[in-house]
Amino acid sequence: MRPRPWELGVLLIGIGFFILVIFSVWTFFLPTLFNKNQNNGLGQFSGYCAEVSGKYYIIITSESNVSSLVVLNDQNKTICSFKDLRPEQQVFCKVNETGVYEVKGHGFSQVVVCQMQGQVLK
């Protein structure tokens, strides 16, 4: 018994829809799986400066396990150092004055600027 033309069309539409669903799931989940397992050094920690009662602090939040972290001033002098930070752990470093500081750790660095509101750094 030969299939009627409309039955063949419904079958082809069903197969096309099935392939589209598999492709959509593949493109959604595949990058997610690789990004969880791959750590390319970006986004391991983030830092910002906060002023509290005229004193300046650099607050650092670890995004993943970081074995060693240092805060350097503009003369490359170590202000603070931290060991073995866990994911989502926050630490702070008291800095003496406004200026530009570098937070370095595990092959990644970030520049943090501490300045008074409206102050222009020279």
Q: Which two tokens stand for residue 50?
A: 């906060």
Q: What is the pLDDT of residue 121?
A: 55
Residues 99 and 50 placed together within one structural domain of the fold:
yes
User: How confident is the model over 63-75, as pLDDT tens digits?
Assistant: 888 888 999 998 9
Asked whether residue 31 falls in the same domain as residue 51, the answer is: no
Residue among 46, 49, 70, 60 at smallest CA distance from 119:
49
Q: Tell me the per-residue pLDDT of 29-41, one tens digit each, with 9 for 90 and over.
A: 777 666 554 444 4
- The reply to whether 83 and 52 lie within a common domain is yes
Instruction: Output the average pLDDT for the chain.
Output: 83
The alpha carbon of 84 is separated from its chain's Cα centroid by a whole number of angstroms, namely 18
Same-domain status, 55 and 89: yes
122 lies in a domain?
no
Is residue 120 a part of any domain in this protein?
no
Q: Is the pLDDT of residue 7 over 90?
A: no
Structural domain boundaries, residue 64? 45-114
HSE value, Cβ hemisphere, 13 Å, CA-based, for 88: 0
13 and 63 share a domain? no
Cα(85)–Cα(100) distance, rounded to whole angstroms? 23
Taking 70 as the threshold, does the pLDDT of residue 23 lie above it?
yes
The answer to whether residue 10 sits within a structural domain is yes
Same domain flag for 110 and 64 = yes
Same domain as 60, residue 6: no
Q: Are residues 58 and 97 in the same domain?
A: yes
pTM value is: 0.59
| Domain contains 96 | yes
Instruction: Specify the CATH number for the domain of residue 69.
Output: 2.60.40
